[in-house]
Structure 1
């Protein structure tokens, strides 16, 4: 049986000051009665004793007793032996009940109020954020994409490192931190990038943030304000597209194929664009890599136009058929034009909310100032724990371990698809990542999606990533699901689609 919550105990409320000519007893009575009717003192809440109330407000105890007695006699309060004085569950007049006031009176007032007519609010009403309450599924059902396996994270080790940071000798960790990020973490990230991504950068050129979304938001505000043109991959990551839409830039949707962004099309559509958003190491959601020829063409365009490239390097570490390919930022001549973004939410666990930008030298100061103004700094305690996690070699071991686990699950997913989905879903070769874009061999994508949801299967329609239609498809994740669960879910998919 559920345990009933204990009624709240009220300490003291700010009651204001008595008006001139009002007795202290009358002031206290009206203040408490108003707090009850307004819901500030909810039903069942316990009031301080008359002695404590008198001491706190510097009143005579008899004054408090008289005000309490009047409220008791009118039914606003009730007193029980051993339970103290509490707000009545039901007020003497139902129309005075706090719930009634909130539902009726407040609702009527709020119903007449409308949001200000601003461009931001107008645009916000036209999108549904990709990570809103309505878009996140309940639980972890196959085959929802963009998720890793948090059950495989070394939580006991993380707890140990966390405890070490909370020693009394390190209490300064609880104070404000450098808005660019803890020096220890920026040093750790720089070392990791040099080995894993081929990016040689000094720690002073790294900015630690809460998310890649935050980094892109700052880019749009500082580098492409107003109606500047910005390239966006199509299909592409919906969160990036939504940020562009809400910021008011002129989004230019550049098509993507198996070799990544069609740079020549971007130049044809918007040669003077201020910024290009790309996922060159593993295109989101199609999974391909930006070809060497297109990488060079993209860098040449940015150099000639004085434009910037936002490289979202979101999960390239999980590559199964070979070592991770070098980041775009690792190529010569990219120091001043490429802003590289990476996140630990994909590699460790989503709620860590730590990401980073590798900045051109002439932008690091302005971006740090913007970050400090918007969010002060990322969680410094989590930064310190992560710095230790990386420096002590745990991060590298965890990524290598998860790469093996995800590779095995990708193979199980491909095998289950081959066994159960012939004529239903075409699954391409899975070379990297935690999810894969699949082609539906049925005509109606939305109908297929609805059938899967009804059968307990979560996936993402490919159309949600696209502006221009590409044919029916699904983006399906495999990383968090064990091989047996993948097999059983694959059977459920086949049953749902075959009807």
Structure 2
């Protein structure tokens, strides 16, 4: 069977649609599923630049013939890539690779020079079990640098324009005085003591978690905290619970560890704890977002919190609490952290991040550990990531201890609450009969359930109109949800929200 297809690209000085070069997608994988295999192979070729922006893809009939696939299989893969914004189609110009890749708004990579081999086969890395489990071709995170502002209504983002940059610069300069140059030395893998103390003081006030600084470890992100917990607490084949729907990045870390991931459904009261106890009673770790579920926005009920803690105490399981979006509640006080409840100290790992609250490239987060896990966690960090940036930790310690962080959160909470109301008003005004949007009572995004459309058709139309929306199915694995979109409102001011809402409505009404 021929495993190569001809896809146009752009040699030097020529229009990329006039000549073709041969791009190998490898052999189809019937075990994986032919449609999924083709989607993954084409998407990876787009993301890593082997299919540059503007490249013309062959027709569905041609590609189906090359790979002995059903034409419908190829069409379905193309439709998914169109819906997610990796491809664009225009009358008379065929189907092309988008010049701007979805989700991250960065240009597609330029073509590789023709003198460089397109693909190296039979490398040792290509067979690494960890990479295979990770699912590189479907990574939810950018594989290249991102500097552009998000397009409406990209979810899970704050507005970096609100951050007090000048104040941060002044604090940074202060740390670089000659009297403080020891800050430039190596930092403990546990984190700078001043920052751990400042985080402990913040958690006691904001989340009701009273813990000594020695039980706090500074990391780069919640993902890193989860990865280290999986290394410390689980081995290949161990069982873990994952919310379904749930955070895609957490699921991939669990799969990469070699654990057996059991998908536990989520309803209006959060994670269905009785289902988890019944389906996986010997789980070693449970991932949960109890304050505000990602992405549905519901909270874990008091009854289920108590049930989860009681079961963890009896079984010896560890609960990984991702304190997702807990700082932004607009109509009531946030629920206390699960880690703050009686008896949680020995069984709950609490992880939170400053990256969304301040700016994404900060790359600082924290994890609150049970006493017995502190030493093994720090050892694991010391031989993997070593430590987070010490200079930035020192600046953040001052930012927290001098009250700047609390002021920044209070200010942005008011602004985001105002934008949430504007978003609700715009949805009510422009989207009647198109999408049923939940009230924006907390967090940086909301879920809207589509009325007359499926997700692929809706996201395709919206992407062509300059609107980003995450299909709800992206977060689901086994337990289906009503067709819907996850929509962010926080990075956009009132004028931007209303204008984009009109574009949103026009795009869907054209369908």
The TM-score with structure 1 as length reference comes to 0.77
Q: Which one has the largest radius of gyration?
A: 1
Query: 1:488 maps to what in 2?
Result: 499
Match of 1:414 among 420, 424, 440: 424
CA distance in 2, matches of 1:472, 1:284: 16
Matches within 5 A, 1:449-488: 449-467=459-477, 468-488=479-499
CA distance in 2, matches of 1:395, 1:109: 48
By how many angstroms is 1:139 displaced?
A: 3.6
Matches within 5 A, 1:293-442: 293-442=303-452
CA displacement, residues 256-287 of structure 1 (integer Å, 9 cap, x when unaligned): 01110000011111011110000000000000
Matches within 5 A, 1:8-87: none
By how many angstroms is 1:108 displaced?
A: 8.4
CA contact (8 A) 2:135 2:252 kept: no
CA distance in 1, matches of 2:131, 2:150: 32
Quick one: structure 1 residues 127 and 310, their matched pair in 2 at CA, closer, same or farther if it must change by over 3 Å?
A: farther
Query: 1:79 maps to what in 2?
Result: none
CA contact (8 A) 1:127 1:242 kept: no
Matches within 5 A, 1:102-141: 107=117, 110-111=120-121, 113=123, 115-125=125-135, 127-133=137-143, 139-141=149-151
Query: 2:232 maps to what in 1?
Result: 222
CA distance in 2, matches of 1:416, 1:133: 34
- The unaligned stretches of length 5 or more in structure 1 are 1-101
3-state SS of 1:243 partner:
helix
Matched, 1:443 2:456: no
CA contact (8 A) 1:311 1:339 kept: yes
By how many angstroms is 1:104 displaced?
A: 7.3
CA contact (8 A) 2:134 2:253 kept: no
Match of 1:150 among 157, 160, 165: 160
CA contact (8 A) 1:280 1:290 kept: yes
**Greater mean alpha carbon deviation, residues 138-147 or residues 476-485:** 138-147
3-state SS of 2:198 partner:
helix
CA contact (8 A) 1:196 1:324 kept: no
CA distance in 1, matches of 2:434, 2:311: 41
Match of 1:172 among 160, 164, 182: 182
3-state SS of 1:231 partner:
strand
CA distance in 1, matches of 2:136, 2:182: 44
Query: 2:70 maps to what in 1?
Result: none
Matches within 5 A, 1:282-293: 282-293=292-303
Matches within 5 A, 1:224-243: 224-243=234-253
Q: State the Cα RMSD in Å.
A: 1.8
By how many angstroms is 1:131 displaced?
A: 1.1
- The unaligned stretches of length 5 or more in structure 2 are 1-111
Quick one: structure 1 residues 136 and 258, their matched pair in 2 at CA, closer, same or farther if it must change by over 3 Å?
A: farther
3-state SS of 2:127 partner:
coil
3-state SS of 2:486 partner:
strand
By how many angstroms is 1:178 displaced?
A: 1.2
CA contact (8 A) 1:209 1:356 kept: yes
The TM-score with structure 2 as length reference comes to 0.76
Query: 2:217 maps to what in 1?
Result: 207
By how many angstroms is 1:113 displaced?
A: 4.2
CA displacement, residues 269-327 of structure 1 (integer Å, 9 cap, x when unaligned): 10111100000000000001100000000001101100000000022010001122100
By how many angstroms is 1:120 displaced?
A: 1.4
By how many angstroms is 1:438 displaced?
A: 1.2
The count of aligned residue pairs is 398
By how many angstroms is 1:480 displaced?
A: 0.7
